[in-house]
Copies of this chain bind each other. A is one copy, B any other.
Amino acid sequence: MNMKRASGNRVCSVARTLEILGDRWIFLILREAFFGVRNYDQFLSNLGIATNILSSRLKTLVAHGIMEKQQDRKDARRIRYRLTEKGLDLYTIVLAFMQWGDRWLADADGPPLELYHKGCGRRLEPVMNCAACGKTVHAHEVGYVEKKPFQTPKKSTT
């Protein structure tokens, strides 16, 4: 959580996002949350995380509006941590992690977890598409333009 300017000098949403999310545990907590985990002790036992780290990470997630706390009516000790809209919107990142791992790090048994798309009922293999033309986007097909000009590169990608 310390980094003068986590970006270096390029102004970029990647850097901004990483200033909040740039921590293994944060993503693992989010993964659990996407899989339905809601309470401190479930995160704790599922992740094997230290208690101080867990509470500090939950705190930053709440502080950034990614999760919100609510009391359980039936048990006042229990706090439910749930994803806000802002937090739910992070599922693309979690899916992207999972897919890359499935493709490049899977062992012989194949991916340990299979996703399915409730909409169509089939196995979900997420792909990145261009919202404008609908086609799948590959790394080489991404170009960029800097809105606030800076020192570094010019155009192109890869």
Contacts of A156 in B (CB 8 A): 36
Contacts of A63 in B (CB 8 A): none
Task: Report whether B96 and A93 are in contact in the complex, using a CB–CB cutoff of 8 Å.
Answer: yes
Cβ of A125 under 8 Å from chain B: yes
Q: What residue in chain B is nearest A22 (Cβ atoms)?
A: B24
Q: A98 CA to B18 CA in the complex, in Å?
A: 10
Task: Report whether A119 and B141 are in contact in the complex, using a CB–CB cutoff of 8 Å.
Answer: yes
Could you give, for residues 123-146 of chain A, a 1 whenever the CB lies within 8 Å of some chain B CB and a 0 otherwise?
Answer: 111111111111111111111111
Cβ of A62 under 8 Å from chain B: no
| Residues of A near any B CB (own CB < 8 A) | 3-24, 27-28, 31-32, 34-37, 42, 45-49, 83, 86, 88-106, 109-120, 122-148, 152-154, 156-158
Sample 21 A-B pairs with CB under 8 A, ordered by A number: A9-B48, A11-B113, A13-B100, A13-B105, A14-B97, A19-B24, A34-B139, A36-B156, A92-B100, A95-B142, A96-B128, A113-B146, A114-B147, A116-B144, A117-B137, A117-B141, A122-B132, A124-B130, A126-B129, A127-B128, A127-B130
